[in-house]
Structure 1
Amino acid sequence: MDRIEFVEALKNSIAEKSAWLNSTELPKMLESYRLLHTCVHNLYDMLVKRALITPDPYKLEKKISTIQAPSDSPYIESERALVIGSRFSDYETMLDFICTYFKISVENLDLPKIKKLSELNNSFQWANMSMNNTKTNTRGLAVLLNEARQNLPAISLSLLNDSLSKSSQCITEITRILKDLTDFKREEYKFKIRLDFLQNPKFPYDSIHTPAEEISEIKKMFSALQEKIPFYSELINQISEEDFSEEKDALQLKTLELLKVRETKVEKTKESVNTKGAILDTIHILSTLSPTYSLIAEKLSENCKILEGTKNTLMNRIKRFLRKAFNMKEKPIIYRFLIEDKQKMTKVPRDVDISFFISGIERKSHFLGVIGNAASPEHKKIASSAEDAILQFVNKQISDNKETLALLTAADDYFKTTVNAASRSKIKGLKIDLVTVNNVLVKANKKRAEYVAYIEEINQMKKLGIKDE
């Protein structure tokens, strides 16, 4: 086809592919990044809890403005806990930045940013988490995870293996989408060069007869530009080949074929959908909160000790002495949290017995861990229940955990604002943990909504006398 016809075909294909990537593929990629972040966060917490890595004390103070993969340089084996702890922490923080602040869109993701994402994705090779891996970070993390497996409770071991498996799946999906996006951005770049240069009235297109001549003229126009546009020799060469080579027709068709939107059509089968399995998946998603809640309970206990330590006045010491001398029960420690009411856009005060609240978080951690274990009697009891009963259970769990999230958010604010300035740096923040809890609840809620919508569709079809074939 001639030049004008080809440019017009490119224009339509670019617009269609861009819209499809923004509406379909990139949201999938963001969802995969969120799941990856949850898995990595769970692994990080597990390693910290078992004292296998040294947590980064400056983690929350680091300001991130761009994507940067952690170093993979060699280190002294005796410093593995410190080095891998720091690098794995940076990796987890970078994933949090991508999920929370980074804009994943066709417009924002240029080729250099895609390259940075790819480098970050290769920081740890989840599909080959081996102690013999040639990559420094992967090998170091594999050694630590192998140590973590020793004497690990069954539920925690299951969570560890599940996190590794899901991380590998997420990276595979992210890599597939980034490959498609990279191909698109390369063609988009070529299209923009055609519009800015080849469609320019000053471009001597009629006097050009060979690929070399076109490349030469494009270089001249690049040198005259005031603004900086990257010059990709490989892509410029492809433009000239598509315009003047003997195989130009085949190359043009190949380019348009590359830009085609390929929707995956799922054919209906006669096999019925396992609806009970779908709602049980929601329970499994919620169970991944177990290690996060465990870590939160530890942080709250430490924060409580720090805050109460600042109140160790002479009068309080005398009161404690008298209570102990007369065998009087200790008074509960009551903190006044400010709970955000999102509907009324206000904060409502609530008095909370902090010891009871922390023990409640610990119980919740244990409970979620138990119901997430398919071999536990509790899980089997839930799985044998009717679907309506399971749905009611899921509804209650999501509601309860949303309330817990609101209380934890208020607790984080309370400790940070109430403790004196001298002890403020000792307070352990919950920001990253709260993001993890929120992401899990969002995913669980989405899974529940999909189940409810499917059940409603089946019931509606039955009312209309339509059989699901």
Structure 2
Amino acid sequence: MKDALQFQNDLAEALEQRKIWLDRNLLPQLKEEFSLFKASFGSLYQLLLRKGLVQEDPYKNDIKIGELEIPSESPFTDSERIEQMSIRLSNFESQLDFLMTFYQFSVDFLTLDRIKRISGLVKYFNWPQFSVNSQYINTRALAELVNMAKGGNDQLSTGLIVDSIQRLENATKNIFKILKDITDFHRQNYKLEARLRFFDALTLDRNNVFMKKDETMLIIKRKFAETMSDRPFYPELFDELLKENYGAEGETLKSELIKRLSIPEEPKTKKKAEQSFRPILIDSIRSLNGLSHILSDTIIKLDENKLVLDSEQNGFWQKVRQLILKMLNKDLEEVFYDIEYLDPVLGTTKTEKLDFGAFRLELDKKARYLASLSSRTSSLMTKLEQASEDQLLSILSKNLEELQKFHRTLSALDEFFKSEVSKENREKIRGIKPEISAIKNAIVKANQKRHEYIAQKEEQEQLKKLGIQDNV
């Protein structure tokens, strides 16, 4: 009994230290992996929506989620594919939103039941073996839709698809690796609880424990019902307990268990290399990639709004003049709009004469620039990978400054078109507030990353000034 108590104490201490280590080290990594997983899926899903290969679920906002649930995996016919995949992809995105918003990334919160739910969601699509020949209906159907999206000469979309699926595959592997560690902790913690409640106090016949396994398990189940009825019964874990307490290699198994739960030692080096914060900056810049399609959609809406306004302002002869200029391949007359916006510094309204054609070209140029961030093999990404931290910070700051100007001008244009057209044509004006909001959110998120970089860099510089080195 003394040996049993000693092992209980050793196991309890090892589990406590393991829990602290998991919460400090692996759980933050898990959250980061899920952020990447969610962003990568979001890029892929939005691309399918833009190409009209799936439709938005009109009932999405009506669905109330109380706990993580795996979307349907039931079979469907080819004629139902678009409808079913539209619903399932929308539901999958909602479940990811719920996971990232309401789940706590801690060992205590991520119970075995919740880990099972998370695992089911992550493997809902088989990203590591993503193929039209998949045995899983959802993976197969999504792969078919993705292949359709790759059709044509849209190399940017193809690059985004390939990159998104690769990141989803990598994130899936990393997530399952971390979940395995957390699962193992809970399994061993469950076994410790069983030992403390009743198992180590059992007096089983060592000679018959394995020879009469069924009888042994009946005894365990009866005692379990008396002392642990508030917990689910896991036969495989009690089988492990039997081997540890009554098996010929029991002591070896116990020793290996304590060793497996021990905290990994950090590799010792004479001097730790100076920490690089380049990944933060590169991630910040790449996070702006999603705006490429937002800006492209905005251009389409602006062009349509301009046509509505032109139809009111241009008389018959003006339209003929524009047509002749176009036929002669001559530049169309410049179009200027008087737009108003609020100066955030002075807090006053300013008026600007906007060259609409030039602004549109700048917007299109920025959309193509951001689109090239989707492919790791693009010349822009190669340039970023080779850039120094100072250069990356400069690139990020420049892009944020340009996007802030676009945000200001687009907000003003949205109001301009709505106010300039007649009441009869106002319904024809396509609002761009969703796009404006998306641009603002992207700026905020990228700015947060930039401030995170600056703060960490300043802390590193302060430590240097104080003479604190990262010696081990």
TM-score of the pair, normalised by structure 2? 0.71
Deviates more, 1:149-158 or 1:102-111: 149-158
- Paired AA for residue 267 in structure 2: K
User: Which residue is equivalent to 1:298?
Assistant: 297
> Where does residue 367 of structure 2 map in the other structure?
365
Indicate the residue corresponding to 2:234 in structure 1: 232
The 5 A counterparts of 1:78-97 are 78-97=79-98
- In the alignment, which residue of structure 2 is the partner of 1:395? 397
In the TM superposition, residue 94 of structure 1 has moved relative to its aligned partner by: 1.7
Match of 1:437, as an amino acid? A
| Partner Cα separation in structure 2 for residue 67 and residue 190 of structure 1 | 26
Q: CA deviation at 1:41?
A: 0.6
Asked if structure 1 preserves the Cα contact closer than 8 Å seen for 2:33 and 2:174, the reply is yes
What SS is found at the alignment partner of 1:108?
A: coil
Structure 2 CA distance for partners of 1:274 and 1:215, relative to 1, 3 Å: closer
Q: Is the 8 A contact 1:405 1:437 kept in 2?
A: no
Partner of 1:174: 175
Distance 1:220 1:376 in 2: 65
The 5 A counterparts of 1:274-289 are 279=278, 282-283=281-282, 286-289=285-288
Residues 146 and 406 (structure 1 numbering): CA distance in 2 closer, same or farther, change over 3 Å? same
Aligned length, in residue pairs: 428
1:332-354 Cα shifts (integer Å, max 9, x gaps): 676989x9x9xxxxxx9989999
Provide the C-alpha distance between the structure 2 equivalents of 1:406 and 1:30, rounded to a whole number of angstroms.
Answer: 33
Provide the C-alpha distance between the structure 2 equivalents of 1:193 and 1:436, rounded to a whole number of angstroms.
49
Question: Any gaps of 5 or more consecutive residues in structure 1?
Answer: 200-204, 307-316, 342-347, 413-425
Letter in 2 for 1:126: W
1:80/1:140 contact within 8 Å kept: yes
Q: How does 1:63-462 map to 2 (within 5 A)?
A: 63-198=64-199, 205=201, 207-210=203-206, 211=209, 218-224=220-226, 228-263=230-265, 265=267, 279=278, 282-283=281-282, 286-295=285-294, 298=297, 323-324=313-314, 364-370=366-372, 388-398=390-400, 437=442, 441=446, 444-445=449-450, 448=453, 452=457, 456=461, 460=464
Which residue is 1:309 aligned to? none
Q: What code does the residue aligned with 2:164 have?
A: S
Q: Distance in 2 between matches of 1:407 and 1:243?
A: 73
Question: Contact 1:296 / 1:433 at 8 angstroms: preserved in 2?
Answer: no
SS at structure 1 position matched to 2:198? helix
Q: Which stretch has the larger CA shift, 73-82 or 177-186?
A: 73-82
Equivalent AA in structure 1 for residue 115 of structure 2:
I
Q: CA deviation at 1:440?
A: 6.1
Alpha-carbon shift at residue 12 of structure 1 (Å): 0.5
State the one-letter code of the partner of 2:131: S
Deviation of the 1:258 alpha carbon: 2.8
Structure 1 residue 445: Cα displacement: 3.6
Alignment root-mean-square deviation, CA: 5.2
Higher alpha-carbon Rg: 2
Cα shift at 1:385: 7.0
User: Which sits farther off after the overlay, 447-456 or 101-110?
Assistant: 447-456
Tell me if structure 1 keeps the 8 A contact 2:278–2:388: no
Give 1:453 deviation, angstroms. 6.7
TM-aligned CA distance change 1:218 to 1:385, over 3 Å: closer
Structure 2 matches for 1:21-40, cutoff 5 A? 21-40=22-41
Specify the code of the residue in structure 2 equivalent to 1:295.
I
Distance 1:243 1:373, change over 3 A: closer
Q: CA deviation at 1:163?
A: 1.1
Residues 281 and 396, structure 2, Cα contact 8 Å, conserved in 1: yes
Secondary structure, counterpart of 2:144 in structure 1:
helix
What residue in structure 2 maps to residue 16 of structure 1? 17
Distance 1:62 1:296 in 2: 30
For the residues of structure 2 that align with 1:226 and 1:403, how far apart are their CA atoms?
A: 63
The CA distance in 1 between the partners of 2:20 and 2:291, in whole Å, is 37
Following TM superposition, by how much is the alpha carbon of 1:324 offset from its aligned partner in structure 2, in angstroms?
A: 4.8
- Equivalent position of 1:420 in the other structure: none
Please name the residue that 1:421 is paired with. Answer: none
Q: 1:146 to 1:435 in 2, by over 3 A?
A: farther
Q: Which amino acid aligns with 1:97?
A: F
Q: Which moved more, 1:286-295 or 1:207-216?
A: 207-216
The answer (yes or no) to whether the contact 1:18–1:106 under 8 Å persists in 2 is yes
| Structure 2 residue aligned with 1:314 | none
Distance 1:250 1:140 in 2: 49
Name the SS for the 1:242 alignment partner. Answer: helix
1:264–1:393 CA distance, 2 compared to 1 (3 A): same
Structure-2 separation of matches of 1:465 and 1:98: 40
Q: Structure 1 pair 78/446, CA: closer, same or farther in 2 (3 Å)? A: farther
The residue type paired with residue 441 of structure 1 is A
CA, structure 1 residues 303+103, in 2 after alignment: closer, same or farther (shift >3 Å)? farther
How far the C-alpha of 1:387 sits from its partner, in A, is 5.4
Deviation per residue, 1:197-240 (Å, 9 max, x gap): 358xxxxx375554578855553344346963211122223223
Q: Give 1:259 shift.
A: 1.7
SS of structure 2 residue aligned to 1:104:
coil
- Report the Cα offset of residue 91 of structure 1: 1.8
- CA 1:185 to 1:235, structure 2 compared with 1: closer, same or farther past 3 Å? same
Q: CA deviation at 1:287?
A: 3.4
Shift, 1:105, TM fit: 1.2
Q: CA, structure 1 residues 304+168, in 2 after alignment: closer, same or farther (shift >3 Å)?
A: same
TM-aligned CA distance change 1:447 to 1:267, over 3 Å: farther
Structure 2, unaligned runs of 5 or more = 319-334, 415-430
Q: Identity over aligned residues, as a percent?
A: 25
CA contact (8 A) 2:76 2:84 kept: yes
Q: CA deviation at 1:262?
A: 2.4
Distance 1:249 1:145, change over 3 A: same
The 1:320–1:432 alpha-carbon spacing in structure 2 relative to 1, beyond 3 Å, is: closer
Contact 2:288 2:446 in 1 (8 A): no
